[in-house]
A and B are shown apart, each in its own frame.
Chain A
């Protein structure tokens, strides 16, 4: 796995992400500055980490989505390259048009920083092959704007095509408003694009990968990617 981690001014989770990629893939990811116009040769995974790019000015992710490097990411995704956006990275993917919809202010207006439970809806994607469909994983969230919304037609298409990958759930996998922390429509926590090679999600799987720190439920996402890319190579 040759991962490129994008770095925008105001991003603050890029080192957590790099640490996890190094830990799981045994390879050093390459940090790519937003002003670059090309991705490193041989990149097979682009990761857009979390944080507060451009201080969340204008709208979360809006300014980063228009950065020069995003044209290269768009071209990479169009060729089928794998793109993972976490938290602010998800917001950036939505703002850049690589994923539909938008992440609005959390319904209860508070910044939420806690562990949540996610139901993995499908296991046949490069991002989820490390899990079983229906499995519940525990990972943290840290966001003020994670309330996913799109127009009715887009939601119907996402649901119809099975493009909702993660949903906020109870520990036993029930979809319940009490466990939908930010009010996202249909408890959506993560979605993929039509081709299934671009994933955006609000929670931080990269923070639950080491037993010394806590649960390791996030590890499956990265080990699945490593496996997928090893097979593809």
Chain B
């Protein structure tokens, strides 16, 4: 099965990289951008065809390694 884990910074956590990208967009003349927050995307392939099992497995993976839940949130999407 294919799945995607998206890791984002929690609200309120300062994101200096996002701020720098925001500034770069402004200097490129891309107007109207009010905020950028940088995150990570993991595209993962898992053995077997059970979406519930895949979701549980990837939640474990995210809790144990993919995200630092002190400052990050994650979302698991099973794509089938």
Contact = CB atoms under 8 A, between A and B. Distances in A.
Interface of A: 58-59, 62-63, 66, 95, 100-102, 104-109, 147, 149-151, 183
Given A58-B66, A66-B64, A149 B71 contact: yes
A62 B68 contact: yes
Given A58-B65, A66-B64, A109-B20, A101 B70 contact: yes
Contacts, number: 36
B68 A102 contact: yes
A40 B14 CA distance: 41
Contacts of B71: 102, 104, 149
B65 A62 contact: yes
B30 interface: no
B13 interface: yes
A231 B66 CA distance: 43
B8 to A, nearest CB: 13
Contacts of B13: 104, 149
Given A62-B65, A66-B65, A104 B16 contact: yes
Contact of A59 (B14, B17, B20, B68): B68
